[in-house]
Chain A
Amino acid sequence: MRSVWALAAMAALSVLTASTATLAGEPKQGGVLRMYHRDSPANASILEGATYSVNVPFMGVFNNLVIYDQHIAQNSPDTLRPELAESWSWSGDNRKLTFKLRQGVKWHDGKPFTSADVKCSFDLLMGKSQQKLRQNPRKAWYSEVNEITTNGDFEVSFDLKRPQPSLLAMLASGYTPVYPCHVSPADMRTHPIGTGPFKFVEFKANESIKLTRNPDYWKKGLPHLDGIEYTIIPNRSTAILAFVAGKFDMTFPTHITIPLLKDIKSQAPNATCVVEPTNVSTNIIVNSSSAPFDNIDIRRAMAMALDRKAFVDILFEGQADIGGTMLPPPQGIWGMPKDKLETIPGYGPNLNANREEAKKLMQKAGYGPDKHLAVKVSTRNIAEYRDPAVILIDQLKSIYIDGELDVVETANWFPKVARKDYMLGLNLTGNSVDDPDQSFYENYSCGSERNYTNYCNKEIEKLFDVQSQETDIAKRKPLVWEIDKKLQEDVARPIIFHARAGTCWQPYVKGVTIMSNSSYNGFRYEDVWLDK
């Protein structure tokens, strides 16, 4: 009987708590969200951008066909939600993806949204339209799409060369908004028109970006905010001080390093701060087309000499992740489990044993205490690149490799890598969606423009296709793990760590969710509100 009363009391308490929470959490309309922006993006066109500096301010201007749930931190196939599409369906052979489109949606200039806009957007991305994007960094995402067909104004289909369940993941990325047919790509760079919760007001380079509420937004009652103002402050110290002084409601997402987060917490103790993985891996690119790294033993020795934990401890005070190509769990959907990861040479917990093994490989290649291998470690002249490169050079000393830091200005970095004018490079690879297709094909498939090392393994390429066509996630995961393991064993692009970074906001900012496995998809901000 006592337990019945206790249960009743608990039930009453939970009802009370829940209702109180609802009252306290009732969104308020109005207010302008003030955020600083870390730099001045080149333009306002998300389709042409390749940095989240474009996505963060402009994602709120647009809608996608589908989108990752903006209130669930982990993007996964289970968190895909319809947006401009009301629903979607696959054909029986999984080669046709059909979207039923939402009716009554208007562009910010008042023109109606139809299936023609979807076709235009994806023809533009596939390079099939008359108009061209000045840059098209994600053209390869649609390599398996034959064509886009419309059926009336509110139905559109993607005809695929073969099944590719990952297509939905890429369509849900913040990088895949639907553009209007009637606005040129050039105009979209300077004055974007979307269907999203916020209308573009102005973009003053190096100064500010302003968005205002779209009163005709198709989601009634949203957005809650009257607008969003981004003040461009490239100097991180100034930006953080301004946040602490209350000039901003929120920091730029995932812009706070772990050491700086401590400063913010001490100076603004009421601020809410979260640390999440950015799904950006720091890795080594090896020029295996010329000596000495054409020798697989030297490449393996280098990979085995890595003390990944030291990188994580020094640069992130222990708050970063060690994994393979795919972001490790629990935040990553597709990363190898720890027990499997530790079976890869160099990932085992016994660092000394790994390095002894590495030394033997170096000696086999003709190097030793009396004959060191001199290499240049090239990297971009940005702290996120330089700092780990310095640690890498220090660690390579343990296996008779004397590294010399070669810092390269951004403008010259990719041309230098493309012409294979490097021996070893330290590189960062960002994944806009936590999805194997995006990562594998982009970075490791033969001939891909972003396969900087020219790693080409036809056998593994077949495995890419096998996993890509697998619709059952439970069956697909082991395939992805095997590929990832093989990539690490082949020293295709040794992954050192997966970074984490912090985001803070003032206590009155509500409804913000920082994605935990991508830095590119969570900035619609339609139901962010200010409890003032």
Chain B
Amino acid sequence: MFAYLVRRLFLMLVTLFGISIVIFLLLRIVPGNIVDILFAAAGYVDPADKANLEKELGIDQPLIVQYWHWISGFVRGDFGYSYVSEKPALQEILPRIPITARLAGLALLFSASIGIPLGVISAVNQGTRLDYTLRVISLSGLSLPSFWLGLLILTASVAMFGQMPIFNPNPQTWLEAFATYAVPAAAVGFRSAALTMRITRSSMLEVLRQDYIRTARAKGASDAAVNYRHALKNAILPVITVIGIEAAFLIGGLIVTETVFNIPGVARFLVEAIRWRDYPIVQNLVMLIAVVVVVANFTVDMLYAVFDPRIRYTD
């Protein structure tokens, strides 16, 4: 187990190094840099002024030098300064992380707490009206783009209640606080919940046909005990995998949701930073996200062993 852990940790470092190269190069391949954008916004291009600014920001240096400055700084925790706001990049990134983390956490919670029970119900009632209804709902969840669902929620709120659940940094009431996070989390989590439900259903159906389930029933176990203690426990592995993958994909969904609900989280901030080619923000933020995803995958792999005693990582 220890050797396996060491091997996985080493692989994580190699993966992160690869990702850092990809992030760095992709940003340079995208046409234009911050200076181009600033001068494009001004509607003029003065070569001398541009050169001065490129020198000031250090983007006139060879790529290898720029990469070394960035990655050595990242390892030391020195993220440099945002090209746009001219504030420390870390100071710009850190306050936004909890906002997105809360949103992502709630969305995942929504996804699991709705998707798994409904998946089980759908599976144990296979072929019934309830099953068909739940499958239609899940299909709609997969089909509705989250930005459209978000706008629909906002429009309906304004039309029906004359209120709008957009971000409020200082909520005065419990309801406001709930609306600030729960409504957007539901909008983005709806798709995840639908996916979780479908995976849970198909996995449950497979397990429910196993001999040991029939044996459990023959021994007189109750439906609840069979479904939840025996079947779900064995059907949960693919669901955990999907939730782990969804956690990574959620960042993509959150970009749209944060934009529609005007939430000043890290996902929308990332898109703005890309638009400005704000290298210190984009590189460090994407790298942080990469670290989170790699660690999340590692954690999910470790969780397999917890949920399924048959799995033991050996040397």
Residues of A in contact with B (beta carbons under 8 Å apart): 40, 42-43, 49-51, 132, 134-137, 186, 189-190, 204-207, 231, 233-235, 237-239, 241-242, 244-247, 267, 409-415, 418, 449-450
Contacts and interface: CB of A to CB of B under 8 A. Distances in A.
B215 interface: no
B31 A409 contact: yes
Contacts of A50: 41-43
B32 A205 contact: no
B39 A414 contact: yes
A233 B258 CA distance: 10
Given A42-B276, A206-B264, A238-B261, A410 B166 contact: no
Nearest to A452: B43
Interface of B: 31-33, 36-46, 49, 52-53, 56, 82, 84-87, 92, 151, 154-155, 157-158, 162-164, 166, 259-262, 264, 268-269, 272, 276-277
29 contacts: A42-B276, A134-B38, A135-B39, A136-B49, A186-B86, A189-B86, A205-B84, A205-B269, A206-B272, A233-B262, A234-B272, A237-B260, A238-B166, A238-B262, A239-B262, A241-B158, A242-B166, A244-B158, A245-B157, A245-B158, A245-B164, A409-B32, A411-B36, A411-B37, A411-B40, A414-B36, A414-B45, A415-B36, A450-B43
Contacts of B269: 205-206
A170 to B, nearest CB: 16
A132 to B, nearest CB: 8
A412 B36 contact: yes
B166 A413 contact: no
A242 B163 CA distance: 8
Contacts of B154: 237-238, 241
A241 B262 contact: no
A313 B296 CA distance: 54
A351 to B, nearest CB: 32
Contact of B272 (A205, A410, A414): A205
Given A50-B42, A414-B45, 11 more contacts: A49-B42, A135-B38, A205-B82, A205-B272, A206-B272, A234-B259, A238-B259, A241-B164, A245-B163, A410-B41, A411-B32
Contacts of B276: 42
The 8 closest A-B pairs by CB, nearest first: A411-B32, A50-B42, A245-B164, A137-B42, A449-B44, A207-B264, A414-B40, A411-B37
Nearest to A139: B46
Contacts of A137: 42-44
Contacts of A231: 262
B259 A235 contact: yes
A124 to B, nearest CB: 14
Given A135-B42, A244-B158, A43 B31 contact: no
B53 A134 contact: yes
Contacts of B162: 245-246
B84 A267 contact: no
A397 to B, nearest CB: 30
A6 B63 CA distance: 86
A245 B159 CA distance: 9
A415 B151 contact: no
Contacts of A246: 162
A235 B277 contact: no
B218 to A, nearest CB: 58
Given A204-B264, A205-B272, A415 B32 contact: yes
Contacts of A237: 151, 154, 260
A418 B45 CA distance: 7
Contacts of A418: 45
A501 B187 CA distance: 32
Nearest to B262: A233
A450 B32 contact: no
Contacts of B158: 241, 244-245, 267
A413 B272 contact: no
Contacts of A239: 262
A450 B39 CA distance: 11
A418 B49 CA distance: 15
Contacts of B268: 206
A186 B81 CA distance: 13
- Of the listed residues A134, A189, A239, A267, the one surrounded by the most CB atoms of chain B closer than 10 A to its CB is A134
A421 to B, nearest CB: 12
A134 B52 CA distance: 9
Nearest to A430: B43
Nearest to B44: A449
A42 B261 contact: no
A411 B87 CA distance: 22
Contacts of A267: 158
B164 A242 contact: yes
Contact of A235 (B49, B163, B260, B272): B260
B40 A413 contact: yes
A523 B291 CA distance: 45
A237 B150 CA distance: 11
A167 B41 CA distance: 24
Given A135-B49, A205-B84, A412 B31 contact: yes
